[in-house]
Amino acid sequence: MPLIAEPVLHARALLGEGSIWNFREHVLHWVDIDSFKIQTFNPSTSQNSSIDVGEHVGTVVRRAPECGGGFIVALVNSIAHVDDNGKLTKLSEVHEHSRNRSNDGKCDPVGRFWWGSFNFDLTPEACNLWMLDTDHSLHHKLDKIGVSNGLVWTSDGKTMYYIDSLLQRLDAFDYEIENGRISNRRSVVQNSWGGYFDGMTIDRDDNVYIALWEGGAVVKLNPRTGKLIERIEVPGCRNITSCAFGGPRMNDLYITSSGKDAQLETEPNAGALFKVSINNSEGCKAFEYKG
């Protein structure tokens, strides 16, 4: 029997994305890209709050308290700090294609911020992958990307997994944790489960969980063998966008979705935030930006 996620917040998000668990405050942060909002869901109260940043926001991470706290967000063509009261300060401008905006991203194990871009016209090879180092220096890491999406690191920090959604596969890179250099790109899993690979997370056993855009599910995969371990159905919604572990035992998988073009008759849960508990898995703590 497949696992089935249940909606915990009928958010009607236009484009939910970028979910991360705040291990300090025990809440889930996520973004609604097309409503320009950082969202925070508190599982203990089932309440959701938001901060409007005034433009498309592709992803969000926490900034370490010793570096100022608050959020780091990827905006249309810049990276900004947003404090917990909503005050926004630009940190770095990003020179992108005029029809691009920032998309999914995460911090690496030492606190560098990685994110990629999305092209509104889905122009082939128009997107990029970027890294903001802890000294605020900006580094262009990859070009000629279709749609830059999920990225995670293995528990030893030596491998980075990455998704370009238009390639319909999961890629791996050798990762040099000392300097953030990537090399030896190779395909490790081809999508054979429907839809498009979108955002993802990873557990302590280095298995990956990939959201399926147009697939109505999240798949748990072993990237070393390419085999499916488990399929998590997300009912009443086709466009699944990201996932993140949270909760007291880090085994609650939270899942975001898109409701922008959904028909309510066929997708009553489109744009909702979902959760499923996975008893045999434990997620990894989200890394914070250390700059």
d(CA 284, CA 291): 21
d(CA 120, CA 98): 10
End-to-end CA distance of the chain: 45
Q: Per DSSP, which regions of 108-205 are E strands?
A: 113-119, 127-132, 138-145, 148-153, 159-164, 169-176, 181-190, 196-202
d(CA 121, CA 155): 36
d(CA 83, CA 51): 10
Kindly report the number of other CB atoms within 10 A of residue 74's CB atom: 30
Q: Indicate which residue of 198, 203, 206, 261 is catalytic.
A: 198
Q: Examine the residue annotation and report whether 84 is marked as an active-site residue of this protein.
A: no
Catalytic residues: 198
